[in-house]
Amino acid sequence: MFKGARQFGAYITQEPQRPKEGPESATPTPDGRSLGGGFDLFLARHSDLLDKGTARHLETRLWGSDWLALFFDVLKCPKPRPYLSDENIDAWTEERKLNFQKAIPDYLLLARIYDPYSDVWYSPQEVLPLRGECLSVTARTKNESALQGLNTLIDACDKASQSDLGLLLVSD
């Protein structure tokens, strides 16, 4: 569903792409943010098609360290149990997703971001409700890293709404 973002994402931005693989991807930046497990943000009309005329790569990103602060420190989502090599990966992933949904039932759109290494799509109709969830969490925390991530999502929702586009989070 999201292979178009990875395959065609380079033409959407004017900025050169940072390398996203290798040991440097988990290294903190000078401001202390983790590059690992973060998301590049795209505005698009459909989840599986990044149209050159409408799709845009946003210049900001949801950093892995902001994701961690938001979901584990602020929302208190459970950390996943280790995956065992002999178990079904799809069942393990579904269990992880359901555990996030159970932990934050009032934030089911945010709960879709349960895995910092999986892409997430929000349709144009879901952008404003996602923004509302982010605003609700913003009002109840002082965690700077979580607030940075929430403000990034709110800004992306605003841009998506103004353009009548959806929001695509593409994992590192």
Per-residue pLDDT reduced to its tens digit, 57-75: 899 999 999 999 999 999 9
pLDDT digits (tens, 9 = 90+) for 93-135: 999 999 999 999 999 999 999 998 899 999 999 999 999 999 9
Kindly report the average pLDDT of the chain as a whole number: 82
Q: How far apart are CA 71 and CA 67, in angstroms?
A: 6
User: CB–CB of 12/42 below 8 Å?
Assistant: yes
Residue 37's pLDDT is what? Answer: 75
Note the helical H segments in the chain: 3-8, 64-68, 89-103, 124-138, 144-163
Whether the pTM exceeds 0.85: the reply is no
pLDDT tier at 36, thresholds 50, 70, 90: low
Residue 172's pLDDT is what? Answer: 82
According to DSSP, residue 87 is labeled S
User: CB–CB of 43/159 below 8 Å?
Assistant: yes
Residue 32's pLDDT is what? Answer: 53
How many angstroms from the chain centroid is the CA of residue 92? 20
Residue 45's pLDDT is what? Answer: 86
Q: How far apart are CA 106 and CA 67, in angstroms?
A: 18
Residue 136 has pLDDT above 80, yes or no: yes
Residue 42's pLDDT is what? Answer: 93
pLDDT digits (tens, 9 = 90+) for 78-88: 999 999 999 99
Give the neighbor-by-neighbor strand order of the sheet with 39-44.
56-62, 39-44, 166-171, 120-122
Q: Which two tokens stand for residue 130?
A: 């996602």
Q: Which two tokens stand for residue 134?
A: 């982010």
Residue 145's pLDDT is what? Answer: 96
Residue 84 or 49, more confident:
84
Residue 30's pLDDT is what? Answer: 44
Q: How far apart are CA 9 and CA 78, in angstroms?
A: 32
The type of residue at 38 is G
Q: What is the mean pLDDT of residues 148-167?
A: 97
User: 124: closest CA among 170, 165, 169?
Assistant: 165
